[in-house]
Structure 1
Amino acid sequence: MMEKTKQPLMQEDWAIVMLGGALIALALSGLIIPVPAYSWNNGTELTTSVFSAGNLLAIGTQLLIVFPVAVLAAWLTGKPVKTTIPVFIVVFVITQLALVLAGNKVMKDLNLEAVIFSLALGLIIGNCFKLPEWFREVLNAELYVKIGLVLLGCSVIFSDVMKAGGLGLVQALVVVLSVWYFAFWLCRKLKVDDDLTMMISSAVSICGVSAAIATSGAIKGDSKKLSYVISMVLVTAVPMMIFMPVIANYFNFPEQVTGAWLGGSIDTSGAVVASGSLVGEEALKISTIVKFSQNVLLGLAAFAISVYWTYSKSPAAGKQEKPTLGVIWQRFPKFILGFMGASLLFSFMVTPETNAAVKNGLKSLQGLWFALAFTSIGLETRFADLFRNNSRKPLWAFLIAQLFNVLITLVIAYLLFGR
Structure 2
Amino acid sequence: MSGVRGLKISEDWWAVILGATILAAASTRLAAWLPRIGGWSASIGEALSVPEAPYFALLAALLLALTNAAVAGMGGNAREYWAGFLFVFLLSFLGRLLSRQELIHGWGIEYVIWALILGLLINNAVGTPRWLKPAVRTELFIKIGLVLLGAEILFQTILAAGTRGMVQAIAVVLVVWYFCYFIASRMGLKKSLSAIMATGVSICGVSAAIAAGGAIKGDKKEVSYVISLVLLVAVPMVVVMPFIARAVGLPDAVAGAWIGGTIDTTPAVVAAGALYSDEAMAIASIVKMSQNILIGIAAFILALYWTLRVEGNPGEKPSVAEIWYRFPKFILGFIAASIVFSLVLTPTIGGEAVASIIKVTKDLRAWFFAMAFACIGLETKFMDLVKIGKGKPLLAFLIAQAFNIVLTFALASILFGGPLPLQAINFSWWLADG
What is the TM-score of this pair, normalised by structure 1? Answer: 0.92
* Cα distance in 1, alignment partners of residues 131 and 309 from structure 2: 36
* Cα distance in 2, alignment partners of residues 58 and 133 from structure 1: 29
Percent identity, aligned pairs only, is 42
Report the CA distance shift for 1:179/1:75 in structure 2 as closer, same or farther (over 3 A). same
Match of 2:106 among 96, 109, 134: 109
Report the CA distance shift for 1:35/1:358 in structure 2 as closer, same or farther (over 3 A). farther
Aligned positions of 1:237-256 closer than 5 A: 237-256=234-253
Structure 1: give runs of 5+ residues left out of the alignment.
1-6
Report the CA distance shift for 1:382/1:244 in structure 2 as closer, same or farther (over 3 A). closer
Aligned-pair CA distance for 1:12: 1.4
2:408 paired residue number: 409
- Superposed CA deviations along residues 388-416 of structure 1, whole A, max 9, x for unmatched, are 54430110111010010010011111111
Aligned-pair CA distance for 1:131: 4.0
Structure 1 position 226 matched with structure 2 position 220: no
Match of 1:203 among 191, 200, 205: 200
Aligned-pair CA distance for 1:235: 1.3
Structure 1 position 363 matched with structure 2 position 362: yes
Deviates more, 1:348-357 or 1:129-138: 129-138
2:19 paired residue number: 20
- Superposed CA deviations along residues 176-214 of structure 1, whole A, max 9, x for unmatched, are 101111111111111112222111101110011111111
Aligned-pair CA distance for 1:353: 3.4
CA contact (8 A) 1:9 1:78 kept: no
Aligned-pair CA distance for 1:386: 5.0
Structure 1 position 276 matched with structure 2 position 276: no
Match of 1:312 among 303, 309, 314: 309
2:337 paired residue number: 342
SS at match of 1:244: helix
CA contact (8 A) 1:262 1:276 kept: yes
After TM superposition, which residue ranges in structure 1, 4 or more long, deviate above 6 angstroms? none
Supply the AA of the counterpart residue of 2:89: F
CA contact (8 A) 1:217 1:333 kept: yes
* Cα distance in 2, alignment partners of residues 294 and 207 from structure 1: 7
Structure 1 position 321 matched with structure 2 position 321: no
* Cα distance in 2, alignment partners of residues 315 and 379 from structure 1: 36
SS at match of 1:321: coil
* Cα distance in 1, alignment partners of residues 86 and 315 from structure 2: 47
Supply the AA of the counterpart residue of 1:63: A
Report the CA distance shift for 1:8/1:71 in structure 2 as closer, same or farther (over 3 A). farther
SS at match of 2:203: helix
Structure 1 position 126 matched with structure 2 position 118: no
SS at match of 1:220: coil
* Cα distance in 1, alignment partners of residues 228 and 243 from structure 2: 24
Aligned-pair CA distance for 1:149: 0.5
SS at match of 1:349: helix
Paired residue total: 408
* Cα distance in 1, alignment partners of residues 268 and 83 from structure 2: 32
Report the CA distance shift for 1:37/1:138 in structure 2 as closer, same or farther (over 3 A). closer
Root-mean-square deviation (Å): 1.9
Supply the AA of the counterpart residue of 1:24: L
CA contact (8 A) 2:124 2:382 kept: yes
CA contact (8 A) 1:13 1:335 kept: yes
Deviates more, 1:239-248 or 1:298-307: 239-248
Deviates more, 1:223-232 or 1:179-188: 223-232
Deviates more, 1:146-155 or 1:114-123: 114-123
* Cα distance in 1, alignment partners of residues 250 and 128 from structure 2: 49
Supply the AA of the counterpart residue of 2:417: G
Match of 2:180 among 180, 183, 197: 183
SS at match of 2:30: coil
Structure 1 position 60 matched with structure 2 position 57: yes
Report the CA distance shift for 1:326/1:29 in structure 2 as closer, same or farther (over 3 A). same
Supply the AA of the counterpart residue of 1:141: T
* Cα distance in 1, alignment partners of residues 238 and 124 from structure 2: 27
2:428 paired residue number: none
2:397 paired residue number: 398
